[in-house]
Amino acid sequence: MVHFKTLIITSCTGEKKFKPENQLLQADFQACDNLSIKEKQLEEYMVTAGDMYTGMQHLRLMEGVKILRDKYGSDVVDVNIVSAGYGLISENRRIAPYEVTFNTMSPKEIVAWSKTLRIKESLSTAIKGYDLILFLLGDKYLRALELPVLTSGDQRLIFFASGTSRKLIPNEPNYFIYEVGQKDAKSFSYGLVALKGYLFKLLAQDLVLNGTGLISQIKDSPDMLSSILDKYRKVPLEQESLFAIEEIAKGVATEKKILPKEKVPTSYVSDAPRAKNYGISMRYFIPEWDDRVDPTYNFIKDESTEGRNPYLHDVYSHEIFDTPNYDGVLISKVKIEESNIKKARVQAVGVHDFIRYPNSKPIMGDCGAFGYITDEEPPYTTEEILDYYEDLGFTQGVSIDHLIVGDFAKDPVERKRRYDITRRNAADFIQKWQTGNFSFEPVGVAQGWDPQSYLESVGELIDMGYKFIALGGVARTPTKQILEILNKVVPIIPDYLQFHLFGVARLDAIPTFRKLGVTSFDSASHLRRAWLGSGSNYFAMDGKTYAAIRIPPVDGHGVRVKKMIEAGIGTKEEFKVLEVNALAALRGFDRGNVTLDDALEAVLTYDEKIGEGREKHADYYRRVLEDQPWKKCDCKICREIGIEVIIFRGNNRNRRRGFHNTYVFYNQFKKIF
């Protein structure tokens, strides 16, 4: 039984399960007697509100709700819906199809109709007894609530809302805004209309992995939502973008903590047996996560190329450098399916042409098990996946697996069930591959929860006939534990076996990984470090790392500055002067026209105004300006854009810095062998 009570308030959607010609209209709700008559006429179409709405936000939300209820029971969360016909109703209320929406009403009409439906009074009653209330509403439906409502002192109200909704949400201590806008739709690579529901589903997945105690932590510290959800972003934001109203007023910022690099235990390096497949060369694959940049971006004006289509005109790292800084690419099915535009284009041209990657280079495909980790079963069939790999032109195709991590690995029954699902799918996959006419190479996935279970999984895959095996579920596993698994498995590895590590790229451990039979691995960690954390965003060939210098934009997607202005900390004109001065000082320093101290002072003055950590950044920024690592780098990006690569500011700088980091990592990796 879950004692902590959570309520979700969401909106009705225009898309409904039924749309008969005689559906209810606004006039029917105004005449109560007529409403009951009409509902009887529509009896065959009446279902619960939870089942009636079929809009994408509602569907994603309810998927998240189901994830939580399947794990923690039906009372873990309740859902109420703001209906423009019925008012505020429970998901269990039976309703008839109707055609009424607040989205077509003026502000005055919304308030008038909301009063008729008694939505504010219903909300005050509905939230009683709940500790945490989450609101997933657009502007028009928020207006219908006529906030504020009477709350108890210890309740927390969190609003997933756009920036324009701020004026509708009280600036009170127990109200918190998690801003969701167009920039986030791009960052999460998900449609804006359904984004709030999708974010709740992601949150539900984290709650399943980390326990319901996380819900009460969110209530007490709602700014945690940023760190929980940011890891699912595909595109970097300019700055941390989600702050409590009271924190913005104080100018408090949060920084991501980067853990120190883990060292490989020396005993494993010296004592590791050499695998029979040691003679196979080692390869590095990079995951494809829409990591592209505008090739003709104007850094001085901060303008993208006019009329560009990101899918057609933006370029990948391998299109910038003379040769790719990786030996292959990994593309997950769940990543392709997150965007209908992307999915259609990949289906039309195939994976090699979609990312414009040489046909001579391998592209491995997998299902993206983390995307369905909380599902009872993987959402794909073997036949479907075999045809998918073949039709899209993958070089290698991975069998359908189910992750055994977190709480799933702790439950003996559940971990064995997922192990068996992965094993059965692998057996079915290679049997059908052997009898079919497929041109890609089959890859079997080994899943486990300790060295012995991984040993058994790898052994079974070898017996099935796989010549290429991938070790799954170890991306977040400490190096020491990965080495324990590999030491257990190495005695049974045959000389012909290709052996892949999913999501692991640890330079210090690579020689030992190879000695223990690993022949390939994938990771985007060096790329993503370009915009994650504050102290190690730029990698140098000599092993040093440097902070990128944050100069958030005032115009366009300047989320942080916009929040400061809204909080009354400064005017747009004041921020603009500081921004221009900081950029000019850095560029002048790069040309030798501005001293280091003057450049640093211009940057830190802007830092101080936007509430950044001036003292901490002063040391970081002085070090990078003293060393000027971009001038010592021979990579194409550093040569072409100079100091712009070290400026933390938008996708076209941040991702180019990530491309540079990948170049450094790949060259360091190649020097090992």
Active site positions, annotated:
366, 522
Do the Cβ atoms of 97 and 121 come closer than 8 Å? no
Sign of CA dihedral 251, 256, 257, 260: negative
Residues 6+ apart with CB under 8 A from 151: 127, 157, 174
Cβ neighbours, 10 Å, residue 148: 15
- Beta-bridged to residue 98, according to DSSP, are 24
Count, in order, helices (H) and strands (E) of the chain: 32, 20
Distance CA 123, CA 128 (A): 9
Distance CA 655, CA 645 (A): 9
Run of H or E residues at 141: helix 139-145
Chain centroid to CA 349: 26
Do the Cβ atoms of 325 and 662 come closer than 8 Å? yes
Q: What is the DSSP string of 127-138?
A: TTT-SEEEEE--
Residues 6+ apart with CB under 8 A from 417: none
CA distances from 613 to 176, 578, 580 (A): 23, 16, 20
Residues 6+ apart with CB under 8 A from 469: 443, 444, 445, 446, 458, 461, 462, 497, 498, 499, 500
Which is nearest to 229 in space by CA: 219, 238, 218, 220?
218
- Report helix, strand or coil for 658: helix
Distance CA 582, CA 553 (A): 11
- For residue 517, with 0-12 CB atoms within 10 Å meaning exposed, 13-18 middle and 19 or more buried, which class applies? buried
Type of residue numbered 230: D
Chain centroid to CA 120: 35
State the number of CA atoms in the 13 A half-sphere of 390 facing the CB: 12
Q: What are phi and psi of 647, to 5 degrees?
A: -90, 125
The β-bridge relationship of strands 94-95 and 47-48 is: antiparallel
Run of H or E residues at 254: none
Distance CA 209, CA 491 (A): 33
